[in-house]
Structure 1
Amino acid sequence: MGKPWSWTVGRRFTILYAAGFLGSGIVLLALTYLMSGGRVSSAAPEQPPAGPSDLAAAEQQIQDLARRLADVHAQQSHRLLAGSLIALLVMAGVSLLLGRILAGRVLRPLRLITAATRRITAENLHQRLAVAGPVDEVKELADTVDGLLERLEASFVAQRRFVGNASHELRTPLATMRASLDVAAAKPEPAAQTVALVGRLRTELDRVDHLLDGFLVLARAQHGTLADRTPVSLGELARGALTGRAGDITAKKLTVDDDTVGRDAWTRGSQALLSRMVENIVDNAIVHNEQRGWIRVATERDDTGAHFVVETGGRVLDQTQVDRLTQPFERLGADRTGPECSSGLGLSIVAAIVAAHGGRLTLLARPEGGLRVAAAMPTAVGFRRGEVKR
């Protein structure tokens, strides 16, 4: 289905050009016709002076000749008017074509600026429009956009540097605190209060460490370059994630349906980030599930790409609240926040990783209750282990 017709700048420029040309042509034609009519009225013959009776016949012939000349001149004026109208209509069409060409020439730099701006994303903010040519309104616009891109690049770089440096710097005091706790717990016959305090502090330190790790992964997924792209099997990642959380699945007495996992759903990307994506989705399905609940895990491929889908049961959720789960620290309420170590970054990290790989993440509140998380990723070249081109 084509794009609906709209009053673009090019079309407005074309119509204004044609209207101006047509208006000036009409004015010129009217002036020509008026001037031609004035000459006809002034062409009437003067009355001959009184004379002998034999001049009556000559006078009559002169009057007949004057009428015939006036008729011929009127016909010529009408033909001139008709021809001018036809020429005006033809030139109106030509003016539309010429206006379109001129509009295209005038607006071509703007189209180039628009196309170049659309190609610039968070991953290539270093690119600039760098429009050459005379200093005019178009170049001023391009230079303004380049300045904006420069400021955005500086802001993104500063944000990445801050997140990375802060996360790494905070690991040093965390390691020191862990060592101090280990020393306190290793003393002979420690007090019960000391043991309880050490346990609580270790739990909080684990939570902080998990949060810092989430910040690092989120920063890399949002602003990283993904230089380590390789073919990755979503089925293998799903099997590994389920195996790694087998203890938690057993503790909650969850029923797992993974019969459709492993159908050669291959994508291309960062092995570490894609593994984290799958683990976070599976972890979300386990942590935010009800006791004796169920999980359905599937990997598949079709013409649109490779898909990783996880469904869980539970109460009916609000789709408006579900749509906000891809934002950092968003949760669905106290009964779905899971344990206190939950950072609220799980699905936001998933969304960032999917976007970094050119995929699409869909969160759907199931009508019968529970949540469906589907990650659609671009398909790698080849689908079977022996066929994937590396």
Structure 2
Amino acid sequence: MEIAKKITLLFAILSAVIISLLSGFVWYFSNEFAFEDFYKRLEARVNIAAQIKLYEDDNNDVYAKMRNQYLERLPSEKEFIIEAGSNQSTVDRELPKVFYDRINAGFMARYRVDNHFYAGKFFKNSQQGYVVIVSANDPFGFRELKDLQKILIIGFFLSIILSFIVGWRFSNYMLMPLRNIIKSVKKIKAENLHLRLDVKSGSDEMSQLAQTFNNMLNRLETAFETQNNFISNASHELRTPLTIISGEVELAIKSKDDAEKQHKALTKIKDESDRLEHILTSLLGLAQSGFNGKNQPWEEVRIDELLWEIKASVNQVHPNSRIDIDLNTLPDDDEQLTLKINKNLIKLAISNIVSNACKYSNNNPVTINLESKANTLSIAVTDLGIGIPQTDIQHIFEPFYRASNTNDFKGYGVGLPLSLNIIRLHRGSIAIKSQEGIGTEIKVLLPIKG
């Protein structure tokens, strides 16, 4: 069922419930109080009849005259005066026992059958006690109550129809922006990801939804561009060593009688094979770092201990490097140093950063600083190397991109993108600050409590 129909149906049901309750209250209180005035008129006649018929008073004639002149006679009005304890069959119908029990208790009793009303009370003169009952019809009040019942029933059905129509128009009006969003989203495909939804001014849910779609489209467009660039660059990087290997193989075949040329060709083939293996390993790591991490092992690791392992592994690759680990800002609480991470991936990410710092610093000291602040663990790697030109900083996390001043250094441009993917997998971030010719500081920020 469409949302508009659901809203309309729900709106009609709620309206029906509310109108039913309101009609019930109106009917109940109208039924309770519609005959109150008529009962009081009967009770007044009970008192007057008792005064005139049961008590000897000089004013009785005056009371009788006033009743005849000023009190209208009610439809089918009858008076019944019954001696206490005698047979009560003189009344025109059998009245319930509770009616007489209330009279015997000294109260004014009331009773109604359809539109025929009874009021009675016990009186006692100097001789004995009597029960005085007055009955009459109230066709007007009863008719008004019937008319009210018809009006409430007709009004109920008309209100339901009206609420259904209003609910349908209201739901269509409220869902119109959503339909426009759906229509616009259907137009966006892989070949036109640059299109965006029209975001209306305001902070309502529809504007937020449109803005959320636009943000998602921004990420998708960036992802598509990154993927295209990645495939293009990867194809180029893989094709180059393969072309060189193919050419050297042909040269070695042609130079079968020249051992020196064959040795050079085979050495070149080995170098390019190693390069190709390194590129493929990096690409595999870059792809694996894009997983959600659910199927990878996560464990509690002390980061300060991990840094010593990283230092040892980087020293094996760069034996002449000088790496200093600054632990002066360590927190007193060991829990601030322990994170639940994928140890191998984090080790790979930070090792790439430290290895780059050593490679581009020409054996100048590299400092690793560990600090915990505001539920965030900060690992800052600082070198005194060649630095990064300002125009290149925004691109260094793109796969296979290399800064313009790194031509004298061997590299493939996949280390930092791989590290960024791993850090993002751990809900962290990387900040970089660099000045060409002075040095670079790369700071890894990891949340302590996830």
Normalised by the length of structure 2, the TM-score is 0.42
Q: Using CA pairs below 8 Å that are at least 6 residues apart, which structure has the higher relative contact order?
A: 1
| TM-score normalised to structure 1 length | 0.48
Which of 1 and 2 has greater Rg? Answer: 2
Higher strand share: 2
